[in-house]
Copies of this chain bind each other. A is one copy, B any other.
Amino acid sequence: MKKYGFGVDIGGTTCKIGLFETSGKLLSKWEIPTDTQEAGRNILPDIASSLRQKMEEESISAEELEGIGIGLPGPVDGNGLVPMCVNLGWKDMDVPKEMQSLMEGVPVKAGNDANVAALGEMWQGGGKGCQNLVMVTLGTGVGGGIIIHGQIVAGANGAGGEIGHITVNPHEPIPCNCGRKGCLEQYASATGITRLARERLAQEHPDSLLDREEEISAKSVFDAYKRQDGVAQEIVSKFAGILGNALSNIACVADPEVFVIGGGVSKAGAPLLEAVEERYQAAAFPSCQDTKFALASLGNDAGIYGSVKMVLD
């Protein structure tokens, strides 16, 4: 194994980049803007010149690089091919081939950002020491990443780990962003929790701290929950029940060692984790009832950790 590797996490506005020792130590990290003009043709060249600049600064040669891993916000097949990435403007982009030609043939791998974050959390985060985990990212939407035998489950159509689109309520009248109705994401994301809260507060209810909020958010719900607010307890119970049930079904498929919960909503911390775990245990298949729950610990760095890990395997 060579000494260094780069992890790159391409987002719609910035690219996060990390220089790692292959032992897992993050030596430095920085960001560059993502230039999505002209069908995103400058994105990889911009990253390449930033990497070369860093290599020059640190006197690192291409021969000392184990490889470059790249996570990006769209479906990626097992060979690093991106059929379409709306956020970056890409179509039929062969990421490893393009990047390798810009970087003197250094090995390159690419993966979907949610899957890559899961790999990062397995390597150096909330799932450290595990080879089989399911990561659940509770943000604006609900994302997911599945790691089996230490490897990302990309899926035949790049939909491996798309757990936000598991149908949890066939009777839902309002459509999800995906066009279907009743997806997990409609209840367990920040947006979903806010909606559950608004719906509850629109009904008759006891006095609640939430009545004093100008704008209800997932954060205000969990803040009130931590202060034993009854209405917030009802809302969190509904959220935790829906998510716990969905995870119990995922356990009947992938049976992971640990569920790692990340994303903005997970900043609510241990009380959120405990609420979901309790409902999971009540719903789970007997042999899976003791599956561990952990908070993601790498935050926004999960992507650069997971990206570089791809090239170390």
CB distance from A270 to the nearest CB of B (A): 23
Could you tell me if A146 and B283 are in contact, using CB atoms closer than 8 angstroms? no
Count copies of this chain in the complex.
Answer: 2
Cα separation A291 to B290 with both chains bound (whole Å): 33
Q: Which residue of B lies closest to A160 (CB)?
A: B255
Is A153 positioned at the interface, with any CB of B under 8 Å from its CB? Answer: yes
Chain A, 139-186, CB within 8 A of any chain B CB: 144, 146, 148-149, 151, 153-167, 170, 178-180
**When the two chains form the complex, which single residue of B164, B245, B253, B287 contacts A163, counting CB atoms closer than 8 Å?**
B253
CB distance from A263 to the nearest CB of B (A): 17
Could you tell me if B252 and A249 are in contact, using CB atoms closer than 8 angstroms? no
A158: which B residues are within 8 A, CB to CB?
255, 287
Cα separation A285 to B183 with both chains bound (whole Å): 10
Cα separation A24 to B290 with both chains bound (whole Å): 39
Is A121 positioned at the interface, with any CB of B under 8 Å from its CB? Answer: no
| B-contact bits for A258-294, CB 8 A (1 contact / 0 none) | 0000000000000000000000000101111011000
Residue total for A at the interface (Cβ-Cβ under 8 A):
44
Could you tell me if A285 and B159 are in contact, using CB atoms closer than 8 angstroms? yes
Chain A, 102-158, CB within 8 A of any chain B CB: 132, 144, 146, 148-149, 151, 153-158
Decide yes or no: A285 and B178 within 8 Å by CB, A156-B132, A249-B166 being known contacts: yes
Cα separation A291 to B155 with both chains bound (whole Å): 11
A51: which B residues are within 8 A, CB to CB?
none
Could you tell me if A161 and B285 are in contact, using CB atoms closer than 8 angstroms? no
Is A250 positioned at the interface, with any CB of B under 8 Å from its CB? Answer: yes
**When the two chains form the complex, which single residue of B155, B161, B256 contacts A156, counting CB atoms closer than 8 Å?**
B256
Is A251 positioned at the interface, with any CB of B under 8 Å from its CB? Answer: yes
Is A254 positioned at the interface, with any CB of B under 8 Å from its CB? Answer: yes
Could you tell me if B156 and A285 are in contact, using CB atoms closer than 8 angstroms? no
Could you tell me if B257 and A167 are in contact, using CB atoms closer than 8 angstroms? no
25 contacts between A and B (CB under 8 A): A75-B287, A132-B156, A144-B253, A146-B253, A146-B254, A149-B151, A155-B254, A156-B256, A157-B255, A157-B288, A157-B291, A158-B287, A159-B252, A159-B287, A160-B254, A160-B255, A162-B252, A162-B253, A163-B253, A164-B252, A165-B285, A167-B245, A178-B285, A179-B286, A180-B283
Q: Which 9 A-B pairs have the closest CB atoms?
A: A155-B255, A159-B255, A156-B257, A157-B287, A160-B255, A165-B285, A162-B252, A166-B249, A253-B253
Chain A residues close to B by CB (< 8 Å) = 75, 132, 144, 146, 148-149, 151, 153-167, 170, 178-180, 245, 248-257, 283, 285-288, 290-291
